[in-house]
Structure 1
Amino acid sequence: MAFLLALLIKALLVQAFWIPSESMERTLLINDRVLVNKVVYHFRDVHRGEIVVFNGKGTGFDHAESIVPKPTNVVSRFIRGAQGLLGLGAPSETDFIKRVIAVGGDTVACCDAEGRVTVNGHPLDEPYVYQNDYQHFGPVKVPKGYLWVMGDHRGASSDARQNGPIPQSKVVGRAFVRVWPLSRFGFLGVPTKTFSGIPSAASVPGSATPTPAAMAPSAQVGSSSGPPPLASLVVLAAVPVWRARRRGDWRTVPVGGPPLSRRRGSP
């Protein structure tokens, strides 16, 4: 009964994750354990400043360096699988944990004159950042339904700066408490001072164009070669008519089709 209850809780409500890398130092250290709320985002959207676990498969993170080595033999695979069922072991090779810096519609960039990341032109004072590398990017407009995520250890994090934004649908849940080791127990809240005062995306003048390096390959979402502008169609349609008028041939020539009518008196 206890085992089945643990499986049910892990599958639907809360899951434990082990931190295997340094990308979120000093907020999360290697070998820390966190609990992830898997229910909250079924009722609301992700907010800026929250720490989320997401599945990188099918995103720009799909090609990121794997930080969890695969099991090398049958015994280790069985142990990894049993731990995974209970949410007590290592995450899968495609699970990542990062902090949400910007949400869909936001324009994010780095850096301002003081080396800070800006969201919709508002500079962020980020006291949680460790070893900032001041990597320049953007401005990038985050597509609707996507998230711009970054690690707190900026100098050792492969994040949206290299891999592009992630779909919100890839988020597993919100990491809300650090439970192990006991000496580091603490809740993972949103730094209110950092993310308050950010203007709405609609108030940002102009529209930023995503930078290829930061947005590839996930920036291709929503970008397509749609139909040509109406003005172009008018010009294309007018050219054959103008040429026919000069020759005295008053045929009406539609673009991409046979003549609709012929000059009076022609067969």
Structure 2
Amino acid sequence: MTVSESDDEGSSRRRGRRRAKQKQRPFWQELPVLIVIAAVIAALTVSFIGRPYVIPSESMEPTLHGCSGCTGDRIYVQKLSYYWGDPKPGDVVVFVGPPSWNTRYQSIRSSNTAVRGVQNFFSFFGLVPPDENDLVKRVIAVGGQTVQCCDDQGRILVDGKPLDEPYVKSDFAWNPGKQNATYPAGRVFGPVQVPEGNLWVMGDNRNHSADSRAHVADDLQGTVPVDNVRGKAVFKIWPPGRIGPVGAQDPQTN
């Protein structure tokens, strides 16, 4: 190797090292790009795959905690299941309440613009409740089925067959052989034929749930369009002591 060739090789290596140094930006310069990428990935995940929700009420006790004084459960609600099929009996679903369900709903956002912006940001990631009438209930009957209560044991009937509902721990009293009150004072409702493309939904905490029974006088007879469903609750992600799956037991199978 000649001196000239050696000098050229050394010069080439030095230029390569300088280019490498020029390409290595400080971390603080790369951080905004990383944040934007992470935000885009999070937004796509929330929009198309699933997102966390906060349980704000006691209507699904004891399956989901959310009552006053309780630690509100955070649940993960996935959307993938319903891209290829409709909700099934026993599924715990999050849905947007039809217009007639929104009559008493009031915004939970601050009147302060800055605070409201922060609330909306954290709501997007499920850290605070969304500012809309998003509800969580269990599917009891689907389109084409007839639902009512009760048989002589106080059980709900779907197409004349009693349901097996071990997830219900709190309900109105049932007096066999006597006149029982209609909802909202008691168990009795229906019969209601669920329109095709709709669902009949109820809370597991039956005597503290304003569900389909509370809206039988509206245009949809208390049912919820499948198109209103946000997704299926599959997992409790907070608090740590309650982490675990959300059961989707079909009450029509017994």
Give the TM-score band, short-chain normalised: 0.7 to 0.9
Aligned match for 2:152, one of 109, 113, 132: 113
Quick one: which amino acid aligns to residue 138 of structure 1?
A: G
Output the CA distance in 2 between the equivalents of 1:71 and 1:57: 24
**SS of residue matched to 2:241:** helix
Aligned match for 2:242, one of 159, 174, 184: 184
After TM superposition, give the deviation of residue 88 of structure 1 in Å: 2.6
Quick one: which amino acid aligns to residue 62 of structure 1?
A: N
Aligned match for 1:62, one of 97, 102, 105: 102
CA contact (8 A) 1:48 1:100 kept: yes
Quick one: which amino acid aligns to residue 2 of structure 1?
A: A
Output the CA distance in 2 between the equivalents of 1:158 and 1:97: 11
2:169 equivalent to 1:130:
yes
More displaced stretch, 97-106 vs 83-92: 83-92
Output the CA distance in 1 between the equivalents of 2:200 and 2:112: 37
CA contact (8 A) 1:20 1:67 kept: no
Cα deviations by residue, 1:18-53 (Å, 9 ceiling, x for unpaired): 001111111000110001111211101110000000
After TM superposition, give the deviation of residue 57 of structure 1 in Å: 4.1
2:87 equivalent to 1:46:
yes
After TM superposition, give the deviation of residue 61 of structure 1 in Å: 1.5
Quick one: which amino acid aligns to residue 170 of structure 1?
A: N
Counterpart residue number, 1:145:
197
Output the CA distance in 1 between the equivalents of 2:253 and 2:40: 42
CA contact (8 A) 2:162 2:252 kept: no
Counterpart residue number, 1:2:
38
Larger RCO (CA under 8 A, 6+ residues apart): 2
Quick one: which amino acid aligns to residue 126 of structure 2?
A: G
Counterpart residue number, 1:196:
253
Counterpart residue number, 1:256:
none
**SS of residue matched to 1:91:** coil
Quick one: which amino acid aligns to residue 114 of structure 2?
A: V
Corresponding residue pairs, total: 194
Quick one: which amino acid aligns to residue 4 of structure 1?
A: V
After TM superposition, give the deviation of residue 97 of structure 1 in Å: 0.5
**SS of residue matched to 1:195:** coil
Output the CA distance in 1 between the equivalents of 2:96 and 2:60: 16
User: Could you list the runs of 5+ residues in structure 1 that have no partner in the other structure?
Assistant: 198-267
Output the CA distance in 1 between the equivalents of 2:119 and 2:106: 15
RMSD, matched Cα = 1.6
Aligned match for 1:21, one of 57, 74, 90: 57
Counterpart residue number, 2:227:
169
Question: When the two structures are superposed, what TM-score results if normalisation uses the length of structure 2?
Answer: 0.72
User: Could you list the runs of 5+ residues in structure 2 that have no partner in the other structure?
Assistant: 1-36, 67-71, 173-185, 216-221
Output the CA distance in 2 between the equivalents of 1:149 and 1:92: 21
Q: Percentage identity across aligned positions? A: 42
Cα deviations by residue, 1:156-208 (Å, 9 ceiling, x for unpaired): 1100001200111110110111110111011112224x3315xxxxxxxxxxx
Output the CA distance in 2 between the equivalents of 1:68 and 1:126: 34
Q: 1:92 to 1:38 in 2, by over 3 A?
A: farther
Output the CA distance in 2 between the equivalents of 1:129 and 1:173: 22
Quick one: which amino acid aligns to residue 158 of structure 2?
A: V
Output the CA distance in 2 between the equivalents of 1:122 and 1:79: 49
**SS of residue matched to 2:102:** helix
After TM superposition, give the deviation of residue 67 of structure 1 in Å: 7.7
Cα deviations by residue, 1:130-173 (Å, 9 ceiling, x for unpaired): 32024211111101111000001111110000120011111011
Output the CA distance in 2 between the equivalents of 1:11 and 1:141: 33
Question: When the two structures are superposed, what TM-score results if normalisation uses the length of structure 1?
Answer: 0.69
Output the CA distance in 2 between the equivalents of 1:124 and 1:159: 18
